[in-house]
Amino acid sequence: MDKKFEVLPEHIAIIMDGNGRWAKKRGLERTEGHKVGAEVFRKICQYASDIGIKYMTFYAFSTENWKRSEKEVGKIMDLLRVYLGEMEEREEENEAAGYNIRFIGSREGMPEDIVTLMDIVESRSNDKDKIHINIAVNYGGRAEIVKSAKELAEKVKNGELQPKDITEDMISAGLYTANQPDPDLIIRPSGEYRLSNFLIWQAAYAEFFYDDILWPDYTPADLDRAIEAFLKRNRRFGGV
């Protein structure tokens, strides 16, 4: 393990933003930016694993992204198919790397073949624990909270739970990230300063790091800078 950091955030989340703008600046189709962005995702996963990060969550496709053009959405889904197929082919490589891969978000409305591939990738990495990688696909933070609230409401309806007994831990247990630590650090490249409906419950005490770099240009050195900035923060969690 690389010892460049004596202390590390346990969970880092990244909003992979700027693929389309990266392509436009180069006179390319927006989907070309998504292709390069997928390669950067792979490199950052490997680097995070190498230095000892235990949890990484990547925002890949939001519930709002369906509003993009049909052509772009179709190309993104095709790219996801290719990437999932490569994951399946790289099973031995991923196993050696110790990747535990989960797809967080709603499967509803997703193409059936993609959902099947997601299930295969998850099941084959389920027993790995060197690094847990969450890939947020068809994900929305508000929808995630609604999902948890509905599950608790159903328990109340069935007489299994009293409303007064509902706790924050119960809501957390109904989220896609149940049994995982909340993110310590949330990074957004591309020059935007929004959370964009990403991990809005889990981000309650996360530190934020914004960068002007477009995601396809993102490098391990950029992740280092974000970690270095995080380590200088004074995290009080509401205390003095």
Helix residue ranges, H only, 26-126? 30-51, 70-89, 91-97, 112-125
Q: Is residue 197 pLDDT above 70, yes or no?
A: yes
Cβ(16)–Cβ(45) under 8 Å? no
Q: CB atoms < 10 A from the CB of 44, how many?
A: 24
Cα(82)–Cα(30) distance, integer angstroms = 17
Angle at 222 between CA 121 and CA 17, to 5 degrees: 60
Q: Is 119 a catalytic residue?
A: no
Residues 73-120: pLDDT tens digits?
998 999 899 888 887 777 777 777 789 999 999 999 999 999 999 999
Taking the model in full, what pTM does it have?
0.92
Q: Checking phi first, is residue 68 left (phi over 0); if not, alpha (psi -120 to 50) or beta?
A: beta
Q: What is the fold, at CATH topology level, of the domain defined by 11-140+183-231? A: Undecaprenyl pyrophosphate synthetase (3.40.1180)
Element housing 61 (H / E): strand 55-62
Cα(184)–Cα(199) distance, integer angstroms = 12
Question: Mean pLDDT highest for which of 1-5, 121-125, 221-225, 233-237?
Answer: 221-225
Residues 201-211: pLDDT tens digits?
999 999 999 99
Cα(49)–Cα(97) distance, integer angstroms = 8
Active-site pick, 50, 65, 197, 217: 65
Q: CB atoms < 10 A from the CB of 24, how many?
A: 13
Burial letters for 70-95: b for 16+ Cβ neighbours within 10 Å, e otherwise?
Answer: eeeeebbbebbeebbeebeeeeeebe
**Tokens linked to 108:** 């509803």
Burial of 127 (0-12, 13-18, 19+ CB in 10 A): exposed
Q: What are the extents of the domains in the chain?
A: 11-140+183-231
In 3-state terms, what secondary structure has residue 25?
Answer: helix
pLDDT band, residue 134 (cuts 50/70/90): very high
Q: Is 19 a catalytic residue?
A: no
Instruction: Give the gyration radius of the chain's Cα atoms.
Output: 18
Please give the pLDDT value at position 1.
44
Cβ(184)–Cβ(207) under 8 Å? yes
Q: Is residue 35 pLDDT above 80, yes or no?
A: yes
Mean pLDDT within 160-165: 97
Cα(178)–Cα(189) distance, integer angstroms = 26
168, amino acid identity: E
Active-site pick, 17, 182, 184, 211: 17
